[in-house]
Structure 1
Amino acid sequence: MPFDEEDVQLATRIKALGHPARLAIVRALLGAPDGACRCRDIVRDLPLAQSTVSQHLKVLREAGIIRGEIEGPRSCYWLDTQALAEVGEAMGGFQRAVAAKTAEPVGACE
């Protein structure tokens, strides 16, 4: 049975967020005064090589977490706030489901 397209997209986005460097990039973009950062600004703020940061940006872009624009040698990135909101809503749904499970299963796995 194939997986639901929305679940595949959610898993892709969660996987993209599952690295400390990529979380740092998202936080940098969240904290940017104008909502966008140049690649060089992100590189300056992280203890990683430019090529490594570029690879992480590519993963985030392919997952739809960020958007980007290249103008000559400059690259500018910003968050896709709708995509992040969708991830947050899905995680909130999981959190509510877990909170509703107040008892340990009894005999379910015997």
Structure 2
Amino acid sequence: SRRSLTHPPCSFAPFNYDPAGGFALRPFYRHVLDGRRVLLADDVRNTGETFGKCKALIQAAGGALVATVEIYDRCGAIVDPCVPNLALAEYGAAENYRAAQCPLCRAGIAITRF
């Protein structure tokens, strides 16, 4: 006998970003996530803060984050959402710091180029 190729239904819930208010999830999508297991995807992971903020929104909507994925991981995460993470490509970039721990910030040296 052949195994069925059906799978549980999947949904897409985009996060919106407002520079004044940060990340948000529209009410319709909050309802979609309630009681669901969520795979969070992004294009690039720099510090991991986006995943951390979105995890909080998922949990507030009643969802459970099960893993994170990204196309490109700069390997500089300082925020860990405590779930498995998978990247298609990795690149060890310069170390990331929070502003309070940054040696350049402490010394008053402004970043003028990347």
Pick the structure with more helix per residue: 1
Higher RCO by CA contacts (8 Å cutoff, separation 6 or greater)? 1
For normalisation by structure 2, the TM-score amounts to 0.24
For normalisation by structure 1, the TM-score amounts to 0.24
Pick the structure with more strand per residue: 2
